[in-house]
Amino acid sequence: MCGIIAYKGPREAVPIVIEGLKKLEYRGYDSWGVASVSGKRIAVHKKVGKVGKAVSSEIRLKGNTAIAHTRWGTHGGITEKNAHPHLSCDGKYAVVHNGIVENYQELKKKLIGEGHKFVSESDTEVIVHLIEKEAGKGLKNAVQKVAGELKGRSAFVVMTAEGEIAASRKGSPLIAGKGNGEYYIASDIPAFLEHTNKVMYVDDNEMLVIEDSEIKFYSIATGKEIQKRTVEIDWKSESAEKGDYKHFLIKEIMEQKDTLWRAINQDESKIINVANEIKNAYGTFLVGCGTAGKVCMTGEYLFAKIAAKHLNHAIASEFPSYEPFLTSKTLMIAVSQSGETADVLEAIESAKSKKAKVISLLNVFGSTMMRVSDEFFIVNAGTEKAVVSTKATTAQLAVLTLLAYAAAGKLGEGKRLLLDTASAVNDMLNPRYEEHIRKLAERLRSNENIYIIGRSLNYPMALEAAIKIQETSYIHAEGFAGGELKHGPIALISKGTPCIALVANDHVKDETISNAMEIKSRGGYIIGISPENNDVFDYWIKVPDAGNASPIVNIIPIQILAYQLAVLKGLDPDMPRNLAKSVTVK
């Protein structure tokens, strides 16, 4: 998490990095800071809160070289002191950092013993003191030495009072951009895309130095120079705006009218080839985190039901427990919106170390996962700005459904089903539908708990529904497999407890309705999300009858509910507390 941007060139640097920082806010938004060099002096400005709220005229820093950072705190409270950039004791070096220095306690103790004074609780501060300590060796050697000493996944940028910039990447994203006599370093391309589309990818275990208007790349391990290609990115500058919508979240939910069509529109021969690889693999793991992890779980059900093929899903952070089963015949399918999630990248690294093949399902083109995977699908949901994932989720579900049908030799049938589903979603997303769900949100807004049940394909969606409600409304929400309820959780039900039942017209419909009955008999208030109404429902939200695409249609009303709950409770649906869109720490 955390967003980094640096600029060195002939223009005033601070407005450029502040604007860039606003494009990186999805990576963390608890505090931010900027440092620039002017007259061989580094000046710093830091604030708690979102950079989006920054007033440019209040930032009085000048100079042609600057670094900036938006933070998602890991070590130390959300304070100005802990915000980046951090300065060395002599004030001649400033550092911004994304990731975690896992051995910072030991390094800090040593540095304090050597006389360095720390002013923050942040792990990052050790980097700038280490640079100061090694500075006599020259900037390149100092960065190489320090990068080698840090444990854990991280990327950092150093700025010197002489106006030099250097950066290191070990497991966290970093990209360089080249303009006309100017350079940018950032965590992600949109941060500088309005200025240049010429990028140089910094790979893992590489570092760079910008001196005398020249950029040079080096291996951290050997110090040897690496020649880099400049790639021209064929993207428009980040144009995702809210338009007539009040929030990105509702805009992105509504965009599912289009995004499903785009997700389905994949290269058919590639779908068939990958489906064959899944069929022939000796063990396939679907790996992802959070919502993408629930998509992976749905994938396991989809392949079992549609293609009679057993796949394993694993939460990426738990994947180390499965590593002993990796061989060169294993296939890993990594699912990620951002393509940058640290735990998924680690799972990919361990798969690759065993020579297993890795195929990714991604939304962000050019992401690290795209570059390290053997093959990839872009799910084409378009930029997802809201931290809460919606349109990327249903696009991922659509591509996995397509793959499952292809694995069963029924790609045509799968495509027809998904096209019908996209069309039904298009009809479903109208203002009357939204209003019906808003009324439900009114009923639920003051509740302390909401439970969700589902079976089979809709069990993972019950878990995903809980994530959506937790993120936006801060209400305690929990999803259960319908059949599991009576093995414990039913004790939580009392008069009026809301319980959402995800019911599809499938082989588990009757059992799910029975589970809803069991809850209702104990006083529960039943909200049915289903193609047909049922006596057990106290509140019914109709969804299209989508067969094996039911996870897609069942999660959409929950997304709207989550949005409406945030709005009714006066919360920010786009940037919920404590979260970040791209989770680049473990």
Where in the sequence numbering do the catalytic residues fall? Answer: 2, 581
Interacting residue with ligand F6R among 259, 337, 373, 394 (CB under 6 A): 337
Which token pair is 280? 């022939």
Binding mask of the shown chain, residues 340 to 359, with x at each position contacting ligand F6R by CB under 6 A: -x--x---------------
List binders of ligand F6R among 45-74 (CB under 6 A): none
- Measure the CA angle with vertex 100, ends 334 and 146; round to 5°: 115
Interacting residue with ligand F6R among 68, 292, 453, 526 (CB under 6 A): 292
Asked whether position 400 contacts ligand F6R by CB under 6 A, the answer is no
Question: Given the rule CB under 6 A, which of 179-187, 332-340, 418-426, 520-528 is the region that contacts ligand F6R?
Answer: 332-340
Handedness of CA 96, 102, 105, 111 (dihedral sign): negative
Separation between Cα atoms, residue 135 and residue 34, nearest integer Å: 22
Q: Give least dist CB 336 to ligand F6R, A.
A: 3
Q: Give least dist CB 583 to ligand F6R, A.
A: 5
Q: Give least dist CB 53 to ligand F6R, A.
A: 23
Asked whether position 208 contacts ligand F6R by CB under 6 A, the answer is no
Convert 312-349 to b/e letters by CB count within 10 Å (16 or more is b).
Answer: ebbbbbebeebeeebeeebbbbbbbbbbbbbbbbbbbe
Separation between Cα atoms, residue 50 and residue 69, nearest integer Å: 11
Asked whether position 467 contacts ligand F6R by CB under 6 A, the answer is yes
Interacting residue with ligand F6R among 259, 336, 401, 512 (CB under 6 A): 336
Position of minimal CB gap to ligand F6R: 290
Interacting residue with ligand F6R among 250, 583, 584, 585 (CB under 6 A): 583
**Nearer to ligand F6R (CB atom), residue 314 or residue 503:** 314
Half-sphere exposure of 196 (CA within 13 A, CB side): 22
Separation between Cα atoms, residue 94 and residue 69, nearest integer Å: 11
Separation between Cα atoms, residue 319 and residue 311, nearest integer Å: 14
Asked whether position 471 contacts ligand F6R by CB under 6 A, the answer is yes
Separation between Cα atoms, residue 333 and residue 360, nearest integer Å: 5
Interacting residue with ligand F6R among 289, 332, 526, 527 (CB under 6 A): 289
Which token pair is 6? 């640096």
Q: Based on the number of CB atoms within 10 Å of its own CB, is 569 exposed (0-12), middle (13-18) or buried (19 or more)?
A: middle
Is residue 382 within 8 A of residue 571, CB to CB? The reply is no
Asked whether position 298 contacts ligand F6R by CB under 6 A, the answer is no
**Nearer to ligand F6R (CB atom), residue 289 or residue 348:** 289
Asked whether position 368 contacts ligand F6R by CB under 6 A, the answer is no
Handedness of CA 213, 217, 220, 226 (dihedral sign): negative
**Nearer to ligand F6R (CB atom), residue 182 or residue 255:** 255
CB atoms within 10 A of CB 372: 18
Residue linked to tokens 């017209």: 505
Interacting residue with ligand F6R among 193, 388, 450, 541 (CB under 6 A): 388
Asked whether position 207 contacts ligand F6R by CB under 6 A, the answer is no
**Nearer to ligand F6R (CB atom), residue 327 or residue 578:** 578
Q: Note the maximum CA span of the chain.
A: 78
Which positions lie near ligand F6R, rule CB under 6 A? 289-292, 336-338, 341, 344, 388-389, 467, 471, 582-583
